Amino acid sequence: MEEPILDDLGFPVEIACDESGSEGEKLVGGNTDMFAHASVRMDARAAARCLEAVRERAPSPTTEYKSSILRRAKHRWVVAWLLGPSGPLLGHAHVHLIDKPHFFTVRLADLLTGSPARARHLAAGLRLEGPRVYGAETWTAFLASFNDVMRARNGRIEFSADAAYDLVESLRPAAPPGGPVAELMDLLLRARPQVEAFGARVPGAMPALDPLIAAIVETVAHWGRGGVRVRVVHDRQTILTDERIAELRSLARPLPGGDRLDAFRLAPSVSDTRIQVADLLAGAARQIAEADLRGDGDPELTALLRPYTSF
């Protein structure tokens, strides 16, 4: 069992966070299939020393050192050092990884079944059977169509509900009887009003499909285990309005007598070296995880990343 992360004097811990792979509520068919949310617990001086050490090993003239520099193939050894036992992050950082298409499938199944446990079971079956029955390209296009229907509209539409349900009608006959794909198709046909209503939710409502929200909740849970209260300093994100930050308190697993999320503020990365370190970790983690997802991962980097991660 992991030891609780307790502040020496019982005060809240403060973490700095950034993400990589964010495309809002577009979870299928976008530029990335993985979302990484990194958090670091270190002071500004330690973060500055970390950035200096990275810059020495992988020089760049840029003022603000970004993860895109570190993700270049020639700097692979720097990533290995950064994550490894001689680097500055081990024991001081965490990464929450989200497979975005699978995340959407779970959310869709949850909407259709009303049962988180059943949704997870159904999504696990769909992950295997969907591509096997229809081929990866057709299955991805099918999920992308419903992802678009369920995204907050904001005056934009790429795929209509009619077109998405035409796909259901055309694909349903090939679904193996009694399998997860047939179950999903039948659920979709019975629940069209709920699916369309989800996409038509009130402007400004919490973006339920955005993995950033789920990642923040899980990050707070990680650092707050054992009853520790957590203060978050996060890179600026347009979806993190004052109203949504307030709502995050109710999602971040409250403790008796108060919330586990003790404070939450946004800061520009250029002014906070800790956020810049989180950016490096998030970018490297996403790149490693996406390579694994494609089947051409780097075993050494995957092993080095494992102590930092949760899914």
The DSSP annotation for 114-170 comes to S-HHHHHHHHHHHHHHHHHHH-HHHHHHHHHHHHHHHS--TT--SS-HHHHHHHHHH
Q: What is the pLDDT of residues 226-235, one digit of tens each?
A: 888 999 999 9
Say whether 15 sits in a helix, a strand or coil: strand
Kindly state the average pLDDT of the residues 121-149.
97
Confidence of residue 6 (pLDDT cuts 50, 70, 90): very low
Q: What is the pLDDT of residues 69-114, one digit of tens each?
A: 999 999 999 999 999 999 999 999 999 999 999 999 999 999 999 9
294 residue type, one letter: R
Mean pLDDT of the chain: 91
The whole-number pLDDT of residue 199 equals: 84
Confidence of residue 9 (pLDDT cuts 50, 70, 90): very low
Q: What proportion of the chain, given as a percentage, has pLDDT over 70? A: 92
- Return left, alpha or beta for 258; rule: phi > 0 is left, psi -120 to 50 is alpha, else beta: left
Confidence of residue 247 (pLDDT cuts 50, 70, 90): confident
Confidence of residue 46 (pLDDT cuts 50, 70, 90): very high
Indicate if the pLDDT at residue 253 is higher than 90: no
Indicate if the pLDDT at residue 123 is higher than 80: yes
From CA 147, how far away is CA 281, in angstroms rounded? 28
Domains and CATH numbers, the chain: 13-99+206-310 (3.30.420.10), 100-199 (no CATH)
Q: What is the pLDDT of residues 263-292, one digit of tens each?
A: 999 999 999 999 999 999 999 999 999 999
- Pairing relation of β-strands 13-20 and 34-40? antiparallel
The whole-number pLDDT of residue 235 equals: 95
Lowest average pLDDT, out of 44-48, 138-142, 253-257, goes to 253-257
Take residue 2 and report the two structure tokens written for it: 């992991």
